Amino acid sequence: MNIKIGSRESRLAVIQSQLVMDAIAAAHPDVTLELVTMKTTGDKILDRTLEQIGGKGLFVRELDQALRDGRADFTVHSLKDMPMETPEDLPLAAFSDRADPRDCLVLPAGVTQWDRSKPVGCASKRRQLQLKALYPELIVQPVRGNVQTRLKKLDSGQFGALVLAAAGLKRLGLEGRIARYFEPTELLPAAGQGILAVQTRRGMDTAVLDAVRDEAGTCCALAERAFVRALGGGCTSPVAAYATVDGDTLTLTGLYVSSDETVVKKETRTGPKAQAEALGAALAREMGGLEP
């Protein structure tokens, strides 16, 4: 049996795809795995913010097409980078266990003191809004590109610091660049942050993905995405959600921001993990004043 795994061609994306391939290979040594990489539209356009060029969908368009035309059987994504709505013919078939969900501060190479007179590079409104609440005096500017590209911009003096996902830095072996972690109580992570998602085309046999699936990761993913989806949020919205599982109980914290950013609310709810999706949608309705 031969399985083709589709991935963005960035170093981090390849490492993440390899994690999925390693899990499948360990459980199914008879399966032949092939990695197929490609550059997405979102990887090519780096001179504008995501909201200016069309959102997170630009990071999956080419991978979606590869699934549809058979060039890939599964594709691997950072769940936080995926649109909240997925096509009916391309279901999400597996969610991994969660790596470190936190955001972190990265300083220029060799620097130990954060120079707050220089701008902080942030790629999302979610981070920008919460950072400004923590440090009102900060100048926050958007930064695009893969992790290595952003680090080069930082080290060249364009920024005083970056805020990045800890999971990505750790997977790249760059944990030593982390100057400080932001706990979820300070910066609520993006929905799905730290979790890998495997997408496929409808009708595919997904039994081999049992080696990838994680129950807690799945519950958290479903709750967080349901919360953001119910609020109509995506990459251009500061909305955020973070869930944890303890036994059979799921705890979900959501960040709601009104369209004009004048109303900011953060609330937490708990419930049975078996009702993760319903819990996420219910919390969103409560916070956003939406009809059931």
Catalytic residues: 81
Name the nearest CA neighbour of 245 among 209, 216, 212, 205: 216
The CB-based long-range contact list for 181-186 (8 Å cut-off, 24+ gap) reads: 181/102, 181/103, 181/104, 181/105, 182/102, 182/103, 182/104, 182/105, 183/102, 184/101, 184/102, 184/242, 184/253, 186/130, 186/134
- Phi-psi region for residue 55, left (φ > 0), alpha (ψ -120 to 50) or beta? left
The DSSP symbol for 184 reads T
Torsion, CA 171, CA 176, CA 182, CA 183, rounded to 10: 70
Distance CA 68, CA 112 (A): 48
User: Helix, strand or coil for residue 147?
Assistant: helix
**What are the structure tokens assigned to 13, written together?**
């994306």
**What are the structure tokens assigned to 48, written together?**
């504008």
Q: Do residues 108 and 119 touch, judged by C-beta distance below 8 A?
A: no
Distance CA 7, CA 75 (A): 6
Q: Do residues 223 and 276 touch, judged by C-beta distance below 8 A?
A: yes
Name the nearest CA neighbour of 224 among 239, 212, 242: 242
Q: Do residues 280 and 225 touch, judged by C-beta distance below 8 A?
A: yes
